[in-house]
Amino acid sequence: MLSRLCQSARRLTFRSFSTAGVASEEPNFLEMVNINYDRACQHLDIDPAVLELIKRCDSSLTMTIPLRRDDGAVEYFTAYRAQHSRHRTPTKGGTRYAPDVDLVEVTALAFLMTLKCACVNLPFGGGKGGIKLDPKSLSVGELERLTRRYAIELAKKGFLNPATDVPGPDLGTGEKEMAWMMEAYRFYNYDNIYATATTTGKPVSFGGISGRTESTGLGLYYCLREFLNDPYYTNPVGLKTGIKDKSLIVQGFGNVGYWATNFLEKDGAKLLGVIERDGAVFNESGISVDEVKKYLIKKGTLKGFPKAQFYEDVQDVFKKPCDVLIPAAVERSITGKNAVNFQCKIVAEGGNGPTTPRGEDVLASKGILVLPDLLMNAGGVTVSYFEYVKNLGFIRPGMLTRKLESTTNKWIIDKVMQGDTKPSKGTISKILDGPSEQDLVYSGLEDVMCEAVAETKKTSQEKGVSLRLAAYTNSIKRIYDSMKLTL
């Protein structure tokens, strides 16, 4: 049996980074995932050779894609796709358009997707892809031509297919890119009736599903709510239970950061600070989530936002006191260097890999609770799974049962109205209308996320490990169980 390092989850302590056998400088993203994986493996009674097999990337692809610009010039872009694990198929993972995309980052993200899907028990392996570019430097027409060419090249090489590899949106991409990729695949595979399931995160009119846009932020909200409602986790960090009156600072006010704070604000939390690449704003009295979002969309920057103080150095806001810090931007935002100045009580990871192992050790030494990305941002891929199932089944959620439920509910309402206590007209209308597609998506997402939180809590407390190691341990065990009979 592999040796176990028993620690107290309540004290939130970890094995120090310096003993992990890596260089003293902060590791790159892939090294980070490997370090966390190796730490978790110490708590599993699985053959080390099998653990090494699970760790390795199955296959990766690097391509050069030409693009004829609007002015007639030809430019070349480097593109990637990694399929980390095919223990369950298809592989699933986003498509990233950013200037710093490289094979190391894509491979790390694919590995994280393998673990993330297993953490919330989705039948996917992990994948990830991207193109090294600044999408703002291209016109809409150029972006469409490049995206379609990328999809065609992936399909030719077996990296795009509803049965083998299904991309979704990520940093720098969204609904339109997923629609372009799906359409490009369907054009050349017109006889594949499942072609709509080639991508997820599409517009609803192109086979998407209601609720996908806000799903990652909503999933984080559900998870954070479960932890904040549990005194086992709030008492050690000096917080009262519940979301109400909790103060927030968020890094990254894109899709994840905005929606997470939007749902939290509706439940009584207060946003104090927003951190972006070109600066940050902070107001200890609170900031309206929608007001700062509208300003950011209009101006493209937080500078000049009238209802908060602007800081050129984002680290000045990172170290402001708050209850919950939500890093929802790029990897390695929280390091051993800046974590020493943090005054938050909880770090809820909305982005992928925002905290380095050294950074996490520093946070733990300060008694700060870290809620891991593996769990907290799995809402997006969960609703992508709902969309994938919808596309394969050619039917929207609730279509077969909605009218029957409405008829049944009408009979119940008629009986209730005969009594002394009568529901309001609004309540009656909602009951008779039945659940919408969005209602069903929200309900399904809440169930998946809450179950994953409960499993992570249980493992953390039983094994005496951090929540990150608990999530990794559960994921590795689930992957092993799905492949052990074929080894």
| Active centre residues (catalytic) | 128
Contact indicator for 464, 457 with CB cutoff of 8 Å: no
Tokens 């490009």: give the residue: 184
Q: Residue type for 259, please?
A: W
Angle of helix 425-433 versus helix 402-417 axis, rounded to 10: 150
Q: 12, 34, 7, 14: which is closest to 23 by C-alpha?
A: 34
Question: What are the binding residues for NAD(+)?
Answer: 216, 255
E strand residue ranges, 252-404: 270-276, 279-287, 309-311, 321-327, 343-348, 369-371
Tokens coding 142: 């150029």
Query: In the chain, what is the straight-line distance between the N-terminal and C-terminal CA atoms, in Å?
Result: 19
Count of helices and strands (H, E) across the chain: 17, 12
HSE-up (13 A, CA, CB side) for residue 19:
6
Cα(314)–Cα(336) distance, integer angstroms = 16
Contact indicator for 322, 273 with CB cutoff of 8 Å: yes
- DSSP annotation string for 97-113: EETT--HHHHHHHHHHH
Question: What are the binding residues for substrate?
Answer: 92, 116, 384
Q: In which order are the strands placed within the sheet that holds 91-98?
A: 59-68, 74-83, 125-132, 91-98, 165-169
**Cis amide bond preceding 90, omega within 30:** yes
Q: Give 103's DSSP letter.
A: H
State whether residue 428 is helix, strand or coil: helix
Contact indicator for 439, 218 with CB cutoff of 8 Å: no
* φ/ψ of residue 74, rounded to 5: -105, 130
DSSP alpha helix (H) spans, 308-356 = 315-318
